[in-house]
Amino acid sequence: MKRNKKITKILAFLVFQVVFIFITIPFFIFWGPFENIKKTMVGASMTTLSHQYIAKKILSQDRIDEILSENKFDIKKQKNLEEIKNNIKNRIKKTSIEKYSISSKRFKGYVLIIDDPSKIKVGYSGKIGLEGETTSKIAERNKAIAAVNGGAFAYNEQEESWVSSGAKPMGILISNGRNICKSVGRDSQMYVMAFTEDGVLLVGNYNFKELESLKVRDAISFGPPIVIDGKGTVVKGDGGWGIAPRTAIGQRKDGSIILLVIDGRQPSSYGASLKDLQDIMIQFAAYNATNLDGGSSSTMYYKGDILNNPSDPLGERTVPSIVYVEK
């Protein structure tokens, strides 16, 4: 009997310790002395959209804004677009795709280098407006050899949640010259990833009028841009979005395209910051590059398989749009 009481006390003490740690960890993170951890957690919680309460329950909005404002970007309009256009026009393009695995202490991921930018297109769900489709399904319908998830999707009004089926694309969506998402005003400036008819990648703030004047054939809305004219845009901090699964696209000065995906929210790969994406893109000689939708959406498809390990417990997440590589 005494032994049973002793075991019960030990178990009760262990349960108390677990509950105590669980309750106090958020306060330790947000009010403790470790500034980098605090900034990372605030950025991560405030950009997941469905988990902003993690920071808001402990910190005031003023303090959250103060922490986020410590991250600074230097985002300008792209230059040298004609030079890239001429480089694409005058070089001998190959049909091969190079694949690389990348890793660090915090994350792992994959990079694809596509020599011919004319093969990069935007695809979208066959049930657009009703529900999204997985990256692999959209890719297979377009007979793509490779693909990554693409642009943003709208708030799920029915369930009052950002956990969406990917039915409704947010912002600009142009595929093969067709304007698929017509809810955006022609003068509305927003972050985009776009390709001109000549295969030049556009990143940064553009509106429909500018995209038309630049003869854009494919485009989606997302950002922020992380490399412009060969220089990183994150000039202070880590970008303010914390660490998470990430997807990005870039273009070298010779015109070749870089597709990047980083796994996250897993013991073997926590995730990457926007600064991490920027550094990887510069390492792979990106001249212009931008962040695409990340989190549970981050997926890389290649030759019929999913290369990475999407963080959604159910596997691939349904999305409204993808960036794919034609065969």
Q: Whole-number mean pLDDT of the chain?
A: 85
Best CA proximity match to 295, nearest among 96, 125, 45, 53:
45
Can you name the residues that pair with 261 across neighbouring β-strands?
Answer: 110, 247
pLDDT at 182 over 80: no
* Token pair for 117: 């930018």
Residue 316 structure tokens: 């691939």
User: Band of the pLDDT at 160, cuts 50, 70, 90?
Assistant: very low
Q: Which of 51-65, 105-119, 257-271 comes out lowest in average pLDDT?
A: 51-65
Q: Which one-letter amino acid corresponds to residue 243? A: I
Q: Residue 268 class from Cβ within 10 Å (0-12 exposed, 13-18 middle, 19+ buried)?
A: exposed
Q: What is the pLDDT of residue 175?
A: 97
The predicted structure's pLDDT at residue 187: 86
- Measured distance CA(136)–CA(310) in Å, rounded: 12
Q: Is the pLDDT of residue 274 over 50?
A: yes
Whose tokens are 């297979």? That residue is 140
pTM (predicted TM-score): 0.83
CA 102, 103, 106 angle in degrees (round to 5)? 145
Q: What would the two tokens of residue 254 be?
A: 């010779």
Residues of the chain with pLDDT > 90, as a percent, come to 62
Token pair for 195: 């390709």
What pLDDT, on the 0 to 100 scale, is given for residue 22?
44
| pLDDT tens-digit readout, 279-312 | 999 999 999 999 999 999 999 999 999 999 999 8
Tell me: the pLDDT tens digits for 125-139?
999 888 899 999 999
Residue 209's nearest CA partner among 234, 238, 252, 179 is 179
| DSSP bridge pairs for 319 | 133
Residue 32 has pLDDT above 60, yes or no: no
Q: State how far the Cα of 235 lies from the Cα of 184, in Å rounded to an integer.
A: 30
Which SS3 state, helix, strand or coil, does residue 181 take? coil
Cis peptide leading into residue 224 (ω within 30°): yes
